[in-house]
Amino acid sequence: MSENINIILCGVGGQGTVLASKLIAAAAMAKGMNVMSAETIGMAQRGGSVFSHVRIGNDIHSPMIAKGKADLIIGFEPGEAVRMLPYLKKDGQMIVSSRGVMPVTASLSGTGYDPAQMTEWLGKKLNNLMIIDTDKACRELGSAKVMNVLLLGAAVHSGALGLTEEEIAVALRKRLPEKLHELNMQALSYTRNNGQ
Amino acid sequence: MHKEFLMGNEAIAFGALAAGVDLVAGYPGTPSSEVLETIAKHRNENTYVEWSVNEKAAMEVAAGAAYTGARALVTMKQVGLNVAADPLMSLEYVGVKGGMVVLVADDPGPISSQTEQDTRTFAQFSKLPCFDPSSAEEAYEMIGEAFELSEKYGTPVFLRPTTRVCHGYASVKIKDKDEYYINKPEGFVKDSSRWVIFPRLSYANHGRIEERNEQLSDVFSEYDKNIIIPGESGCRKGIAAGGISFTYALEAMKDTGLLKTFKVSTPFPFPEKKALEFLSGLDEVLCIEELDPVIERALTYVCGKYGLDVKIYGKLSHHIQAAGENTIDSVRAAINKLMGREEENYSPDTADMPPLPVRPPVLCAGCPHRASFYAVKQAMKGRKTIFCGDIGCYTLGNAKPLDMVDTCLCMGAGLGIAQGVGHIEPDTVCFAFVGDSTFFASAITGVVNAVYNRADMTLIVLDNSTTAMTGHQPHPGTGKTMMGEVVSKISIEAVLRGIGVTEVKTVDPLDLDAAVKCVKDTADLPGVKAIIFKSPCIAITKPAGKIHIDKDKCIGCGKCIREIGCPALSLEGKKAVADCSLCTGCGLCSKLCPTAAINGGEQNV
């Protein structure tokens, strides 16, 4: 039973959580593992909260993950990572991007929210937290579009994903057009090379 | 056979193709739409696929195909079944020759629907057999079994997945193309005693249907997807569950210990003999299901009928929540309560969680609907008005700051409601807003009604040249079909004129001044008037460019943000800023800026 791996990816519509979850699923399936997943569809307009549940293993029945049962949460946005925290198991791993996305409501009411407050709170709660300075990383990589693969790389390097960089890389090469391979490979290995 | 990672709806589509489906008709609706789209993408040359104008049309097209001996599939969401109820309720009595599966996707929550209605209850009401899959893999197999059952008994059959089955992904074992069943329709054979519904025929067939359903209850008691899982020995408590809730129960019982479990895959006709086998040796049963208490009622009935002393719990006994989705957590809590155990806390302590940003769904940046609503709002400032909305992306026009949807009921209803209000309150300026796909689906009769009965109202057609909310399906106004043909576009303006609406104007809503003037000029004319706001959905067009905000000119008044609520705009310090990854350059904000600080965008280039 404990061989199952439960992963939640969360963020804001348009950040690439779906592609990242598909890469995890493809890499796991290529290893002959059983995969189930579920994600936000329909009203997932740009700017709304979105999540993907990905489950890998042979003893899984539901595509949804229960609270307190996720081995790993990859938060593409600090506020959304906090929102999903009830799903993380005790001593589970969280990876979170430090870059906040302001909701429309904050613009309207003039009350912004403070992403740093979110990561700080997570820091107090969790033993296994990796905060990724995605702004800095994307600047160095020269593209904001690879944030999803960057975070996926961090998940690989944390060890909680149960997949290797090469296994994800194979799935990535299959999924993306060749001209994007180089950039995405750099994003995938970024946290390994930059010691985060 | 090979394995693929498929969405539940894709699995259903491949299952239908493997079962040799000849014709597929449907109307888009979350969470059902991907079934038809996947079939269209992977169909062989003999499979006919169409997006019908609405669910009623789709049901009738599928019935016609099934009359010939073809295997027909019709797809819709649960509220679509209400639209298709008229033909289906009669088709129940007439029956079919080829296999006919009615795929209706239910939406517990509801996540993106108006109602929490349960198609299993509709199956009982219409006396039609119903399959209820619990996973993508099972749905793949079930649709083939549903076709076989339909053909064998000459009746339409429901396949009723719910959102989490439709949109969940799993590795599914599917057939290769050369393993697909090939159906050879015999053709329509004239026989008016069979195909023409008359009271005498309905009377005779009603009797046969009731007999058949008794027989099907026995058939389903032997069905290999209605299963009993033995529990830990000695325990006299059991679980009955169907659909996705069954999988939640299995997950929950990893923590609570395994109870004797009855999986109900055919909620109607209810597998009574199998239920008796399950109930034997039990004192208490907890029914875990979403929407209606179908299994709970059926088991309560079985206990009464056979005089069994078993207590049946579920929604009716408040052991399971009456409304909304179940989750593994809610199911585990209910099972623990049944067992008289404390619920263990698995989650980290989040009592001191900081307040989270609220992210309600909003109209996209650059959405032409925003401009249309804003134009009507500006034109009608200070007037007594009602804005009757409808179903689609434009329902989001209700959000602040636009606040331009006073009513929303079901597809096409805005027209009738505007008329009704107008007849009682002649001093109210009545508007009905309807999208282009919704116009064809269910607004035309409302227009005829308004013209015939001399209503005083303005119809606003928000024509973005697609069915945006459900994923950009073509419709009669787009000039494309699901068979990949380019056909002549049906003109909304010509339809309206044909009905007798004499005042029909077409305006680009992003040309704000012209749009406001058009509304002002039109709304006070007598009778039924129509304005077509025509501008394509931003998701199907290339952005016009980006706006530029001149920081020196911006006085930070926030008017652009306050008035239109565009997600691309926010205040940073005391200056408005635009998120370039979202802005499409529609230019609407630039028209409101009192200091002309916003430049660029469509209308200014």
Q: State which residue of chain B sits closest to A116, comparing Cα positions.
A: B354
CA–CA gap between residue A184 and residue A169 (Å, rounded): 9
B328 touches chain A (CB under 8 A): yes
Of B400, B381, B327, B454, the C-alpha closest to B563 is B400
Distance to chain B for A135, nearest Cα, Å: 15
Tell me how crowded residue B89 is: count the other CB atoms within 10 A of its CB.
Answer: 14
Of B397, B262, B251, B398, the C-alpha closest to B326 is B251
Contact A155, A74 (CB under 8 A): yes
Q: Can you tell me the mean pLDDT for A82-99?
A: 95
Dihedrals phi, psi of B532, to nearest 5 degrees: -100, 110
Answer yes or no: is A104 within a domain.
Answer: yes
Q: Which of A61, A69, A102, A129 to mutate to test the interface with B (most CBs of B within 10 A)?
A: A61
Contact A130, A196 (CB under 8 A): yes
Query: Which two three-digit tokens encode residue B170?
Result: 């799993």
- For residue A191, what are the contacts with CB-CB under 8 A and spacing of at least 6? A130, A132, A137, A150, A153, A154, A157
Binning chain B into helix, strand and coil, the percentages to the nearest 5 are 40, 20, 40
Which residues from chain A sit within 8 angstroms of residue B239, using beta carbons?
A: none
At B350, is the pLDDT very low, low, confident or very high (cuts 50, 70, 90)? confident
Q: Name the residue facing B167 among A38, A106, A125 (closest C-beta).
A: A38
Which residues from chain A sit within 8 angstroms of residue B348, using beta carbons?
A: 68, 85-86, 88, 90, 125-126
Q: What CATH number is attached to the domain comprising A95?
A: 3.40.920.10
Q: Can you tell me the mean pLDDT for B416-433?
A: 97
User: Residues for chain B: how many in total?
Assistant: 605
Mean pLDDT of chain A: 90
The predicted pLDDT at position B602 comes to 55
The predicted pLDDT at position B22 comes to 98
In angstroms, the Cα distances linking A77 to A3, A23, A55, B395 are: 28, 19, 21, 27
Q: Can you tell me the mean pLDDT for B396-422?
A: 95
Flag the least confident range among A97-111, B27-41, B164-178, B233-247.
Answer: A97-111
Flag the least confident range among B203-207, B260-264, B391-395.
Answer: B391-395
User: CA dihedral defined by B523, B524, B526, B529, rounded to 10 degrees?
Assistant: -10
Answer yes or no: is A141 within a domain.
Answer: no
Which residues from chain A sit within 8 angstroms of residue B329, using beta carbons?
A: 66-67
Q: Can you tell me the mean pLDDT for B205-219?
A: 98
Q: State which residue of chain A sits closest to B360, comparing Cα positions.
A: A48
Contact A66, B332 (CB under 8 A): yes
In angstroms, the Cα distances linking B458 to A196, B376, B400, B439 are: 61, 11, 23, 14
Answer yes or no: is A103 within a domain.
Answer: yes
A118 touches chain B (CB under 8 A): yes
Q: Name the residue facing A108 among B353, B357, B400 (closest C-beta).
A: B400
CA–CA gap between residue B42 and residue B11 (Å, rounded): 12
Q: Can you tell me the mean pLDDT for B156-168?
A: 97
pLDDT per position as a tens digit, B452-490: 999 999 999 999 999 988 889 999 999 999 999 999 999
Flag the least confident range among A102-116, B356-370, B393-407.
Answer: A102-116
Q: Name the residue facing B30 among A36, A42, A69 (closest C-beta).
A: A42
The 3-state DSSP class for residue A69 equals coil
Q: Can you tell me the mean pLDDT for B340-347?
A: 85
pLDDT per position as a tens digit, A120-142: 999 999 999 999 999 999 999 99
- Residue A2 burial (10 A CB sphere; 0-12, 13-18, 19+): exposed
Which residues from chain A sit within 8 angstroms of residue B561, using beta carbons?
A: 107-108
Distance to chain B for A68, nearest Cα, Å: 4
A57 touches chain B (CB under 8 A): no
CA–CA gap between residue B349 and residue B343 (Å, rounded): 15
Distance to chain A for B173, nearest Cα, Å: 11
Q: Can you tell me the mean pLDDT for A110-116?
A: 78
Answer yes or no: is A190 within a domain.
Answer: no
Domain that holds residue A93: 5-134+158-163
Of A30, A34, A17, A175, the C-alpha closest to B136 is A34
Dihedrals phi, psi of B99, to nearest 5 degrees: -65, 135
Query: Which two three-digit tokens encode residue B394?
Result: 């434009």
The predicted pLDDT at position A52 comes to 95
Which residues from chain A sit within 8 angstroms of residue B327, using beta carbons?
A: 64, 66
Query: Which two three-digit tokens encode residue A55?
Result: 């489950």
Answer yes or no: is A44 within a domain.
Answer: yes
pLDDT at B603 over 50: no
pLDDT per position as a tens digit, B223-235: 999 999 999 888 9
Q: Name the residue facing A62 among B251, B349, B470 (closest C-beta).
A: B251
Q: Evaluate the CA torsion angle B562, B564, B565, B571 in order and state its sign.
A: negative
Q: How big is the CA angle at B132 (ends B131 and B135), to the nearest 5 degrees?
A: 125
Q: Which of A41, A77, A89, A129 to mutate to test the interface with B (most CBs of B within 10 A)?
A: A41
Q: Which residues pair with B103 in a beta bridge?
A: B75, B159
Of B552, B557, B569, B542, the C-alpha closest to B593 is B557
pLDDT per position as a tens digit, B235-277: 999 999 999 999 999 999 999 999 999 999 999 999 999 999 9
Answer yes or no: is A146 within a domain.
Answer: no
Specify the higher pLDDT residue, A193 or B379: B379
Half-sphere exposure of B461 (CA within 13 A, CB side): 31
**Interface contact flag, B169 A37, Cβ < 8 Å:** yes
Strand arrangement, sheet containing B260-263:
B227-229, B260-263, B237-241, B284-288, B311-313
Q: Name the residue facing B362 among A25, A47, A62 (closest C-beta).
A: A47
Of A194, A156, A169, the C-alpha closest to A72 is A156
Flag the least confident range among A46-55, A86-95, B84-93, B128-137.
Answer: A46-55
How many CB pairs below 8 A link A and B?
Answer: 160
Give percent of chain B above pLDDT 90.
Answer: 87
Which residues from chain B sit within 8 angstroms of residue A81, using beta carbons?
A: none
The predicted pLDDT at position B177 comes to 96
Contact B12, B39 (CB under 8 A): no
What single-letter DSSP state applies at residue B442?
I
- For residue B236, what are the contacts with CB-CB under 8 A and spacing of at least 6? B281, B282, B283, B284
Radius of gyration for chain B, computed over Cα atoms and rounded to the nearest angstrom: 27
What pTM, to 2 d.p., does this model score?
0.95
The predicted pLDDT at position B370 comes to 97
The predicted pLDDT at position A195 comes to 64
pLDDT at A44 over 60: no
Contact B590, B600 (CB under 8 A): yes
User: Residues for chain A: how many in total?
Assistant: 196
In chain B, positions 130-159, which contact chain A (CB-CB < 8 Å)? 135
In chain B, positions 172-231, which contact chain A (CB-CB < 8 Å)? none
At B604, is the pLDDT very low, low, confident or very high (cuts 50, 70, 90)? very low
Contact B111, A48 (CB under 8 A): no
DSSP string, A147-194: HHHHHHHHHHHHT-S---HHHHHHHHHHHS-GGGHHHHHHHHHHHHHT
pLDDT at A153 over 50: yes
- For residue B598, what are the contacts with CB-CB under 8 A and spacing of at least 6? B547, B548, B549, B550, B554, B560, B576, B589, B590
Answer yes or no: is A48 within a domain.
Answer: yes
Answer yes or no: is A194 within a domain.
Answer: no
Which residues from chain B sit within 8 angstroms of residue A43, using beta carbons?
A: 111-112, 361
- Domains recognised in chain B with CATH numbers: 2-219 (3.40.50.970), 227-338 (3.40.50.920), 368-540 (3.40.50.970), 547-604 (3.30.70.20)
The predicted pLDDT at position A6 comes to 97
Cα-Cα end-to-end distance for chain A: 31
Give the number of domains in chain A.
1
Contact B129, B242 (CB under 8 A): no
A125 touches chain B (CB under 8 A): yes
pLDDT at A45 over 90: no
- For residue B40, what are the contacts with CB-CB under 8 A and spacing of at least 6? B24, B49, B482, B483
The predicted pLDDT at position A14 comes to 81
Distance to chain A for B344, nearest Cα, Å: 11
- Residue A150 burial (10 A CB sphere; 0-12, 13-18, 19+): buried
Q: How big is the CA angle at B290 (ends B39 and A71), to the nearest 5 degrees?
A: 80
Q: Name the residue facing B5 among A25, A68, A108 (closest C-beta).
A: A25
Contact B605, B544 (CB under 8 A): yes
Dihedrals phi, psi of B2, to nearest 5 degrees: -150, 165
**Interface contact flag, A62 B247, Cβ < 8 Å:** yes
A19 touches chain B (CB under 8 A): no
Mean pLDDT of chain B: 95
